[in-house]
Amino acid sequence: MEVYGQPLDRSGLLAHVGQLSQVAGVRLVTLADGAGRGTRLLEFRSGSGLEFEIIVDRAFDVGHASIAGRPFAWISQVGIEGPWYREPAGLGWLRSFGGGLLVTGGLDHVMSPETADATDPRFPAKLTNDYPLHGRLSGEPATLVGYGEVWSGDDCTLWAEGVIRQVSAFGEVLQLHRRIDCRVGTNEFRVHDTVTNLDYSPTPHMLLYHVNLGFPLVADGSRLVVDYESAVARDHVLTPDWDRFGPPEPGVAEEVTEIRPSAGADGRVLATVVNALENLAVYEHYRCDTLPYLVLWRMLGQGSYVVGLEPSTNGTAGRSDVRAKGELVVLEPGESREYDLVIGAHSGSDAVAEHLRLHS
């Protein structure tokens, strides 16, 4: 492994430090003030400049993230709030949307709020089901399974696991088992998710990884690089510079583009936001068969300056359209579905060159 530019094996590294936490590790902390008071975080340091935090009590999602001391995750005006403040109806999701690098949409709905027929012979009093913006999962606290470090020969991996349940009496019983790991000496981490239907009836399933990127990565002149088959604006007006980002401007509305990305020979999509002037690049890659859509969210307004790269099971039109097209995933009783997302960052004089190498 290479720790802060020095190639070291296990014995060589441990000879230089009192314990691994001097250069890398995972630490459990609890916020003590403000709206986040009582919220548990897991702080990761990779030993190579990458740092990020898992918000245990917000669906095991990822909050702050930085590379070589420079942040690249967008943080909203809300910041971290405890799950007890969430407003899980309609657009209430926005009231506790703190941003952060990763917010998970789902597990049975993503995109705009909708109301659907929910007639169920087991519970005839329930005539409709309300689905809030991006579903209910992101407001659910996780059960922390464990975290720490594990050695395999001369390689060390930092890891954490959590279980999040989205359940209702007379409704869905969905479980997300999430493992996040990061090899010491690297600048990327992997999210491996398993979604399981624990109910005795088939249950619809939708999932979206709301990856939120911000300044200084997102700045005037930064751009998205991705191979794609099609790109369609949600309002059907695709501007020529849809994949390039300008400075913050007053009165700007959000723009949403539905991309059908092209997978490489390994079946994975690679999407990168690069800022050549700042020598910063952040990428994500994931399996295209389980996440066939990539939603690009641009909000380049003053005070709300963010680019979202959002791999998704479905496009932007909404639940009813997905069902009508026959694209709605339905999990049978006991059935599981797995997802794999890698997020990485490059900083410094070689960042753009490394980004180009990844896309070659």
Amino acid at 234: R
pLDDT recorded at residue 138: 93
Mean pLDDT by 10 residues, the chain (360 residues): 87 90 96 95 97 98 97 95 86 88 95 79 69 90 98 95 94 96 97 97 95 97 95 85 95 93 95 94 96 97 96 90 88 97 90 66
| Contact call for residues 147 and 26 (beta carbons, < 8 A) | yes
pLDDT recorded at residue 51: 98
- Characterize the bridge pairing of strands 102-107 and 2-3: unpaired
φ/ψ (deg, to 5) at 21:
-60, -10
Q: What is the pTM of this model?
A: 0.94
pLDDT recorded at residue 192: 98
pLDDT recorded at residue 234: 86
Q: Which residue has the tokens 């008071």?
A: 37
Q: Which residues, other chains included, contact 333 with Cβ-Cβ below 8 Å and sequence gap of 6+?
A: 197, 199, 200, 201, 202
pLDDT recorded at residue 75: 97
Q: What is the CA radius of gyration of the chain?
A: 20
Positive/negative CA dihedral, 336, 287, 93, 231: negative
pLDDT recorded at residue 93: 85
pLDDT recorded at residue 32: 97
pLDDT recorded at residue 350: 74
pLDDT recorded at residue 121: 65
193/340 Cα distance (integer angstroms): 6
pLDDT recorded at residue 125: 65
Go through the domains of the chain in sequence order and give each one's CATH number.
105-359 (2.70.98.10)
Q: What is the 3-state secondary structure (H, E, C) of the chain?
A: CEECCEECCHHHHHHHCCCHHHCCEEEEEECCCHHHCCCEEEEEECCCCEEEEEECCCCCEEEEEEECCEECECECCCCCCCHHHCCCCCCHHHHHCCECCEEEEEECCCCCCEEEECCCCCCCCCCEEEECCCCCHHHCCCEEEEEEEEEECCEEEEEEEEEEEEECCCCCEEEEEEEEEEECCCCEEEEEEEEEECCCCCEEEEEEEEEEECCCCCCCCCEEEECEEEEEECCCCCCCCCCECCCCECCCCCEEEEEEECCCCCCEEEEEEEECCCCEEEEEEEECCCCCEEEEEEEEECCEEEEEEEEECCCCCCHHHHHHCCCCEEECCCCEEEEEEEEEEEECCCHHHHHHHHHC
